[in-house]
Amino acid sequence: MEFMAGRYGADQLSRFMLAVVIVCLVLNLFTRWRFPYVFSLVILGVCYYRMFSRNYAKRSEENRRYLEATQNIRGWFAKRKLRIEQSKDFHIYKCPSCGQKIRIPRGKGKICITCPKCRHEFEKKS
Ligand SMILES: [Zn+2]
């Protein structure tokens, strides 16, 4: 605890780097390439350097740039995750007329859906 006092610690960027290290080490188990091993050591070194760094401003700026650069990818995954979570309670139907996606709660039997965009009506089992 005392050792970490005043040090930057872990952030999203270091968690991502650790994930890369784990992938590299797994690759290293199953292949004979030297590269993943060396690469993972380098990443791990940078990761530790960042966590033990006392330069908050610079480290958080790096993390901010990482978050900015990966915004779209993370958004894509977050969207997929949300959809999977919602798929327990909702069905997503596409309007046969205009293609608008419509979220319908599950377990309501046969229902008549009115598209909010084009007012087209169609029947579906929910
Ligand atoms: Zn429609």
Query: Is the pTM of the predicted complex or chain greater than 0.75?
Result: no
CA distance 44 to 54: 18
Tokens of 118: 């084009």
What is the mean predicted confidence (pLDDT) over 3-12? 89
- Residue at 78 is within a domain: no
Per-residue b or e along 55-83, where b marks 16 or more CB atoms closer than 10 Å to that residue's CB: eeeebeebbeebeeeeeeeeeeeeeeeee
91 shares its domain with 65? no
Q: Which residue has the tokens 């997929």?
A: 80
Per-residue pLDDT reduced to its tens digit, 41-94: 999 999 999 999 999 999 999 999 999 999 999 999 999 999 899 888 998 899
Say how many Å lie between the CA of residue 96 and the centre of ligand 1.
7
Domain total in the chain = 2
Question: Is 1 domain-assigned?
Answer: no
Measure 119 CA to ligand 1 centroid, in angstroms. 6
Q: How does pLDDT run across 85-94, given as a tens digit for each residue? A: 988 899 889 9
- Residue 15 CA to ligand 1 center (angstroms) comes to 43
**Which of 57, 47, 55 minimizes the C-alpha distance to 10?**
47
Same domain, 62 and 91: no
